[in-house]
Amino acid sequence: MTDAACIAAPLVDLREEPDGPRARQLLLGAPVAVLDRDGIWARVRADLDGYEGWVAAETLGPVITPTHCVSAPATHVYSAPDFKSPERMALSLGARLQVIGDTGRFWETPLGFVPHPHLRDLTSEPDPVAVAERLLGTPYLWGGNSRWGIDCSGLVQLACTACGIACPGDSGPQETALGETLDADTPMRRGDLIFWKGHVAWVAGPDTILHANAYHMAVAYEPMQTAIDRIAAQGDGSVTRRARLSLSVEAHP
């Protein structure tokens, strides 16, 4: 028997075992099923993608009905509807909250007040690359899913989720699940995906990719062919798949 819960902390490591290494991360408001408990730890399954792992039990809270999500790269939750008031926490792009009021410049939530421009309602965004571009310069972090650190598959999942596209958490399942396969000679366009063994990148334009990568240790643009050649030269193989999502995102917003 499972219990429903939500992540009640700004950012939580989803661990392979209690106090073990990070597998992925979960953001505030993420719904989970609680599968087991072991002292201060709880084994959960993320509703978003079915990913299972262990989180600190104290980071779980009751189920909420979110109305908005963070659309800025990051934001602060303030103690009052005033940017000079003490901040209570920082939230990453993708965190979900329940808005209970509107002061005009700030949204009121049970956690505090968030600036109006930093939240949007839960309708889908049109361009996943535009979402990913908001995290340009974010530090690379293995298993990361936030503005404070993110990896290649985290960047793809976060952007897809904002656009209403179901997306697994890791690059291998993403390669299997996302989009339609393109022939090697098909011209790439914005919004396409390029996969290598253990890596994935967004196509930001005809000759440019955007990816979270350990070479730059950040979310960075890179010339497409330069990246393909570099990844092959460092021994990580050739491109394994090119894919196109069922979205039209050729033009920059």
Cα–Cα distance measured from residue 61 to residue 111, given in angstroms and rounded to the nearest whole number: 13
Q: Which of 142, 152, 156, 161 is nearest to 29 (CA)?
A: 161
Cα–Cα distance measured from residue 222 to residue 79, given in angstroms and rounded to the nearest whole number: 40
Three-class secondary structure of residue 227 per DSSP: helix
- Identify the CATH assignment for 68-121 out of 2.60.120.10, 2.30.30.40, 2.60.40.1190, 2.60.40.10: 2.30.30.40
Alpha helices in the chain (DSSP H): 128-133, 152-162, 171-177, 224-233
Domain assignments of the chain as residue spans, ordered by start:
3-61, 68-121, 128-244
- Residues in the chain predicted with pLDDT less than 50, given as ranges, are 248-253
Q: How far apart are the first and last CA of the chain?
A: 46
Q: Which residues pair with 141 in a beta bridge?
A: none
pLDDT at 140: 98
Rounded to two decimals, the pTM is: 0.95
Q: Are 252 and 246 in contact (CB under 8 A)?
A: no
Cα–Cα distance measured from residue 154 to residue 133, given in angstroms and rounded to the nearest whole number: 13
pLDDT at 252: 34
pLDDT at 179: 97
- The CATH number given to 3-61 is 2.30.30.40
Task: Report CA-CA distances (Å) from 45 to 42, 56, 58, 66.
Answer: 10, 13, 16, 19
Cα–Cα distance measured from residue 230 to residue 155, given in angstroms and rounded to the nearest whole number: 21
pLDDT at 2: 77
Torsion angle, CA of 227/230/234/235, rounded to 10 degrees? Answer: 70
Cα–Cα distance measured from residue 108 to residue 144, given in angstroms and rounded to the nearest whole number: 28
Task: Report CA-CA distances (Å) from 181 to 142, 185, 193, 198.
Answer: 27, 12, 10, 17
68-121 shares the fold of 3-61? yes
pLDDT at 209: 98
- The CATH number given to 128-244 is 3.90.1720.10
Task: Report CA-CA distances (Å) from 121 to 104, 107, 108, 124, 251.
Answer: 16, 11, 14, 9, 23
pLDDT at 251: 35
Q: Are 248 and 130 in contact (CB under 8 A)?
A: no
Phi and psi angles of residue 224, each rounded to the nearest 5 degrees, phi first: -55, -50
